[in-house]
Structure 1
Amino acid sequence: MSAAAARRRGLAVILSSPSGAGKSTMARRLMAWDPTLTFSVSATTRPPRPGEVEGIHYYFRSRDEFGRLVLDGEMLEHAEVFGNHYGSPRAPVETALGEGRDVIFDIDWQGAQQIANSALRADVISIFILPPSIRELERRLRERGQDSDDVIRGRMEKSAVEISHWAEYDYVLVNDDADACEERLRTILRAERLRRVRQPWLTAHVGGLMEEFAAR
């Protein structure tokens, strides 16, 4: 951990978007740009897909296990999506923030609301990513080649609900160009890290400056 990171508490950076608008891609790009960023690995009740690794892609839990974690207050947020439960485990996030590491969340509006209203609210910045058009959003979903027509139809219907919550976020970006969108995200992170409240060492520094004035 750098000396600069040790001087501040980490940020909880929430990225949300309708499926296909680019939040997962942007999360990967940000982490490639700044390897100190930590990704909040979600827990889920859905079974692993081929190639998925426990603790890297998800924490795979049974419904009973997931329910116990929720009841014990071990989830920062949780929701049911397409018949499966998803949530963000509390402990690794709180550890990272306490060590001055920024944590990225790839979650929907429901999760964003829960985290923004949690004990972490002072650490949260939320960013919503919009597609340039609904036609382009559907094109991206179909181009991925991962889903059936019925699943795509369901994702498009859910997208209307997702987009309706755009005004609840601190920042809203239109992902019409991936490189430009990434640069805007970098700008947001740089600025948020430089906020006065994110630099607690400034109080002591200014105190030292005033002592120098008094000694003149």
Structure 2
Amino acid sequence: MLFVLSAPSGTGKTTIADRLLKSCPKVKRIITATTRPQREGEVHGVDYIFMDREEFERKIEEGYFLEYAKVYGNYYGTPKDQVLRNEEEGIDSLLVIDVQGAKKVKEVYPENVLIFLMPPSLEELRRRLLGRGYGRENLEQRLQKAEEEIACAKHFDYIVVNEFIDKTVEALHTIIVAHRYRRENFLKKPNVNDEAISRILSKVSCKSFESL
């Protein structure tokens, strides 16, 4: 399955995603490609796949990306091959992308799960952004963008407020585990070793529910 985590800048989605992956077996994060400059401490292929603009635009033409968008003047995109590889290996994919990217992924994978990470308040979001050292002009731009993204939360499958990290990670873990056991997902690949039960699920009709 494909899980998409979106949130306004400063909400803490990267921190939450890193903690979530440690508690969720068989979930692998898709590494986003970007043209933004590599920051101190970031590792190519671990934090992001860093590309120059020319290479990124060539990859667009080649159909390399599942989705891509330009944010604050830089390109960001989801490599398609990572998602397909996880599918082949039976591993769920986690995408940490912005709202417009989430919409594009939903168009390609209608069955994916969209999770919106909500800041506890705009004032708290402002405080977190100030802590990152953004200047006033950039800060106001990001807060305005945050309001636009928050308005899109109503179109996501789940909304989780990130006030306390441990509780947020626990909530996301619960969402992922519960979604694996939804009827339609279980029936695609029954998590049972008994061939007789698998045969019944796939071949035998339920008389009690036939009239519904």
TM range (shorter): 0.7 to 0.9
Contact 1:12 1:97 in 2 (8 A): no
Equivalent of 1:77 in 42, 51, 67: 67
Contact 2:130 2:139 in 1 (8 A): yes
Post-superposition Cα deviations, 1:52-91, rounded to whole Å, max 9, x if no partner, equal 2221111111212111211221101111111111101100
User: What secondary structure does 2:127 align onto?
Assistant: helix
Give aligned-pair identity as a percent.
38
Name the residue aligned to 2:95. Answer: 105
How far 1:147 sits from its partner (Å)?
Answer: 2.5
User: What secondary structure does 1:121 align onto?
Assistant: coil
Distance 2:20 2:189 in 1: 26
Name the residue aligned to 1:147. Answer: 134
Distance 2:189 2:82 in 1: 25
Structure 1 vs Structure 2 CA RMSD = 2.0
Matched, 1:121 2:110: yes
How far 1:34 sits from its partner (Å)?
Answer: 2.2
Name the residue aligned to 1:16. Answer: 6
Name the residue aligned to 2:144. Answer: 157
Q: What is the count of residue pairs matched by the alignment?
A: 198
Matched, 1:197 2:184: yes
Distance 2:169 2:41 in 1: 27
Code of the residue aligned with 1:41 in structure 2: it is I
Distance 1:154 1:172 in 2: 23
Code of the residue aligned with 2:53 in structure 1: it is R
Structure 1: gaps spanning 5 or more residues: 1-10, 212-216
Structure 2: gaps spanning 5 or more residues: 205-212
Name the residue aligned to 2:199. Answer: 207
**TM-score scaled by structure 1?**
0.84
Distance 1:58 1:16 in 2: 16
How far 1:113 sits from its partner (Å)?
Answer: 0.5
Distance 2:61 2:133 in 1: 34
Equivalent of 1:187 in 157, 162, 174: 174
